[in-house]
């Protein structure tokens, strides 16, 4: 068995966790971890390193942040809406 075989599946799990961290609002920490992972993989596993690079771009994409803020605004509007009583 190739000793590097588990790297790709583990990296996919790592990427999912990083994206969830970003969704939870911890974008800076997720980016730092992704950068550390990229640094570890860049020479021996460049394809996996590039996947982490893509995650960093996704996390810092302004549209992603706007989308998250929009969802938060929608949730706030729904939670503060009080129907009028008759």
pLDDT per position as a tens digit, 1-23: 787 889 999 999 999 999 999 99
- The full DSSP string for 33-69 is HHHHHHHHHTTT-HHHHHHHHHHHHHHH-HHHHHHHH
Q: pTM for the complete prediction?
A: 0.73
More reliable by pLDDT, 6 or 84: 6
Rounded to the nearest 10 degrees, what angle do helices 7-23 and 46-60 cross at?
10
More reliable by pLDDT, 54 or 64: 54
Six-digit token string for 22 = 């970003």
pLDDT above 70 coverage of the chain, percent: 74
Q: Which residues contact 75 (CB under 8 A, 6 or more apart)?
A: none
């Amino acid at each position: 068995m190739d000793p590097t075989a588990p790297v790709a599946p583990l990296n996919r799990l790592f990427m999912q966790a990083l994206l969830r961290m970003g969704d939870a609002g911890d974008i800076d920490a997720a980016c730092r971890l992704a950068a550390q992972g990229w640094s570890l993989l860049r020479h021996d596993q460049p394809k996996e390193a590039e996947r982490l690079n893509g995650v960093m771009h996704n996390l810092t994409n302004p549209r992603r942040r706007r989308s998250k803020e929009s969802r938060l605004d929608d949730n706030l509007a729904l939670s503060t809406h009080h129907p009028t009583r008759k």
